[in-house]
Each structure stands twice: as structure tokens, then as C-alpha cells.
Structure 1
Amino acid sequence: MSMTPEQATWFADIFARLVGNVDKVLLGKSFVIKLSFTALLSEGHLLLEDFPGTGKTSLARAVAQTVQGASSRIQFTPDLLPGDITGVSIYDQKSAEFEFHPGPIFANIVLADEINRASPKTQSALLEVMEESRVTVDGISHPVGAPFMVIATQNPIEQAGTYRLPEAQLDRFLMKTSIGYPDHAATLRILEGSGTKVHEGTLTPIVESGVITEMSRLARTVHVDPVVADYVARIVEATRTAPEVRLGVSVRGALALVRVAKTYAASTGRHYVTPDDIKLLAEPVLSHRIVLDPEAEFDGVTPSSVVSQLLIEIAPPAERVTA
């Protein structure tokens, strides 16, 4: 059953209130906030590659407070172990049984700060929970609950002592984006409130976590016309044959783009996806899934520029698509 126009209107109203609430904390970054909630409602995860002090922690905490959920922060370091993330089983002498003690991954919004500073073994501890929303310890599965989203961060400047995220792990992130520095007007507003510590404020929850689950279910019912699906397929296939690319976008990436476009369409009050939705979201959804040829990378080519060029070369469907 497809989403109705009335349901799309309700969805858009709640979405706008969610974004407006977080905008009180992360000033002047409404598009990044929209992408964050789009990832959450699409049941995916977000990778932020940004400089220190741009508000990554504030964003994660504000999103969790807005949906009345729990948030946690994991500072990734070279000596971090998988059990420090997932939790461990400890032997209880009174009951003569092993008791599971959950780790910080058991929260609604998890900030994985500087994820590339941990060893590949520790990073791999996130693969199962990001894909299946559960943790398996000693052969026993423990669900992390819903909603659940990992917001991971990377520092693009300091690369000493870091481990490059493998392609399989990057593919688990629904989107990759950056917050960036605020503009002049937003900076002035931030300075006006400099008497308050960054983490002192508490946002009023807009909805309960159960509403987020219902919105995620509704987003899956947004209509995608075959011509729009064909447009996505042509873009993805073009990434695999582009001369600058060594590894193109997988089928998981194509599914991710459609899933995100459905949620974004609903957030604007539409019950159908348009080619403009695909064009707007292609770069944050697809760019981190592309592996460039070393020579192209040396020449200054970036995955984002490859996606942008393909969007210029590949013609979108001409007619307007509705359900």
C-alpha cells in the first residue's frame, strides 16, 4: 500500500518540527540536519567527515533529545577493544552464570567519534550492529532496539595513527556529509550565547521514539515510478564504467539512494519520488562508495566530482512522475 497525500502531509509536518528543534542547537545547518533525520528515518547511519569543533557531538545529542531517545559517545582510540563497544559477559559467582553487560552501542543515537583511529578489528565490531541492529556475544544475540543510528566522524586533516575505513564498512553508511563552519550570521548568534556551555542546554522532545518507527514504516511506502528507478540504475551503472573509477557503486548503494529519496520526498510532503530528489541526494549517498583510480586521485579527482559529472551527463526522466 502506497503512502497517501494526507500521510505525506503529516510526515512533512513532524519532520519540519524535528529539524526546527535541532536547528536551535546547530545554527545555520538545516540541510545537514535534514540529512541526519533522513538517515534516521531511512533506518541508516551517517558518516561525518569534518574538522574538530564543528558541532558533531552537539548534533548527535540534539537528535537523540528531539526523538526522546538515549545517546552515547564512543571515543575511538588505537587501544579500544571490540568488547568496549558491544559489551562483555561477566561471570556472576552468586548465580553461577555469565551475565551480559551491554556496551555504549546500546543507545538510540551513537556517536562514534574519530572512528578511523581504532584498529580494523575494533571497527569490525560495528558491522553486525549497523547492518542488523543487534550484537552477538558468546553466541547470544542482543537487539539494540529502535530507532537506532550510528553517527560516525572522521577528521580529514590529521591522518597520523589512523586506519582507512574498508570499503565494506563504508558501504554500511547510508550517507556521508560534513557540517562545515557556520556562516557569519550564525557565528554571531553562537557568540551571543557564549555564556552557556555547549552541553548544558536540553532540548524538549518533539516526538516519542515510537513515532519515529512509524514514520520509518511510512517512508518505505512512498511511490517510486519505474522511470525514476531506471534513472537510479543508469547513474549507478555509470559509476562502474567511469574512467576515473576503480570500484563503482554496489547494488546496496542503489537501494540506499532509493530508500533515502523516499524519505526525503515524504519530508517535503510528497508521496512520490522525483528525479530532483535523486539528483539532490546522489552525492551524499554515492560518493563514499566509489574507489578512485590512483592516477585520477593524484590528479585531484574526487568521488564527489565524479558523481556531479555523471549527473550532468545522464539525462533525467523528462516527464513529471506521480503515483
Structure 2
Amino acid sequence: MEECSVTVDGVTRQLPNPFTVIATQNPIGSTGTQMLPESQMDRFMVKLSMGYPEFQDEIKILKNKQSRELLKSLEQSTSTAEILQMQEQVENVHIDDDIYAYITRLASATREHQLIRLGVSPRGSIALVRMSKSAAWLAGRDYVIPSDVQLVFFNVFEHRIILNTQVSLGNATVHSILSRIMQTVLPPDISRKRAYL
């Protein structure tokens, strides 16, 4: 995924830019499903859960007989050049050193927590930086603030955490542990640091 290339029968081919992989995951325990190795889970930047549709929305889904026809009628909403330009703008979003330190403290807290066997790797911290920049850009800013980090924190970190089954977890879940980390690792006060913040 990260290399943006695929090798088939010993021949490596570069994939087009931009290149994105979107995968679906069935609940663990379903027939034919198994956990991905930690190294593979770590390669996914975020994990999103769409949940179930609302009651009336599901009825609309069931009634929609032309769903395949609707897919055929979808029109392109942006160009490759526009996507590449947006990616460059996101890359240029500024992050203060205090925000980098905040992200590092959040990641370190997952590695030091007694209920966590496997905490967030540096790859996860890099993903949190990238997603925080994206959140800032979507909010119309060219700089990251702590609330950008907090907005994407769970989606970036949650799927990377492996709990320690050697200790009593009680009612603890990955989400509840990350919530506690978010509460205890205080964000920096960057309001006085830069004039444009």
C-alpha cells in the first residue's frame, strides 16, 4: 500500500497517483474472518465505522431497485489534478512543535499503559499528524490546533491498540482507555505562541 506499487509474477508496476486503498472489515468471529496481523493493521491510516442505517433509511435502501443504475449515473466531482493540489495544500498545513510534542505524548501514553500490550507505533503518530493536518485544512485553516488532533484521535489510534489479556481488564475497552488517555494528556496552550493562531 505505502509503496504505491504492485508486484505480480515478479514484475513490479507503479500505481497511479493518487493511489488509495479502502478496505471493509467484517466483525471478528463471523464465519471466515480472522484478525489481521498487527503490522498490517498499522498500515491503515484510519478506521471508520458507518454503523447501521436508520430505520427509514434502511427501508429506502430495500425499496431502491435501481441502485446499480444510480451508480452508473454518478458523475465525476473532481479531477486528479485537483486532488493532487488538495494533497499538497494539506501537506503545507503548519504544525507547531508543541502539537508534535502533544501527539508524541499521546502515542507514548498508549505504549506505557498497563492495560495495553501493543501501543501506537511511530507510523500511527505519523498518521495522526497527517489526519490532523487534513482536519485543519477542512476547517479552513493552514495550521493545526489541539482540537484537530482530538477530532481524529480515535479513528487513527483505536485499531492499532492491542489490549493486554494478562491483566484484568474489567469493563475496559480500547475506546475507554483512549478516552482516559485523552483526558490525562493535556493539550498545549498555543494561543499565545503565534500571532496567526
Q: TM-score, normalised by structure 2?
A: 0.88
Aligned counterpart for 1:197 among listed residues 63, 66, 69:
66
Across the aligned residues of Structure 1 and Structure 2, the Cα RMSD in angstroms comes to: 2.2
Contact 2:90 2:137 in 1 (8 A): yes
SS in 1 for 2:2: helix
Deviations 1:76-113 (A, max 9, x none): xxxxxxxxxxxxxxxxxxxxxxxxxxxxxxxxxxxxxx
1:212 paired residue number: 83
Aligned counterpart for 2:95 among listed residues 224, 228, 235:
224
User: d(CA) in 2 for partners of 1:177 and 1:297?
Assistant: 28
Kindly tell me: are residues 157 and 286 of structure 1, through their superposed partners in 2, closer, same or farther at Cα, counting changes over 3 Å?
closer
Contact 2:28 2:34 in 1 (8 A): no
1:152 paired residue number: 23
SS in 2 for 1:246: strand
Task: List gaps (5 residues or longer) in structure 1.
Answer: 1-129
1:293 paired residue number: 164
1:264 paired residue number: 135
* Residue 283 (str. 1) matches residue 151 (str. 2): no
Identity, % of aligned positions: 39
1:311 paired residue number: 182
Aligned counterpart for 2:34 among listed residues 145, 157, 163:
163
1:85 paired residue number: none
Q: What letter corresponds to residue 66 of structure 2 in structure 1?
A: K
Contact 2:115 2:169 in 1 (8 A): no
2:57 paired residue number: 187
User: d(CA) in 1 for partners of 2:66 and 2:107?
Assistant: 45
User: d(CA) in 1 for partners of 2:150 and 2:186?
Assistant: 11
User: d(CA) in 2 for partners of 1:231 and 1:295?
Assistant: 29
User: d(CA) in 1 for partners of 2:61 and 2:160?
Assistant: 40
Kindly tell me: are residues 141 and 157 of structure 1, through their superposed partners in 2, closer, same or farther at Cα, counting changes over 3 Å?
closer
Q: CA deviation at 1:230?
A: 0.8
Q: TM-score, normalised by structure 1?
A: 0.55
1:65 paired residue number: none
User: d(CA) in 2 for partners of 1:229 and 1:195?
Assistant: 47
Report the structure, 1 or 2, having the larger strand content: 1
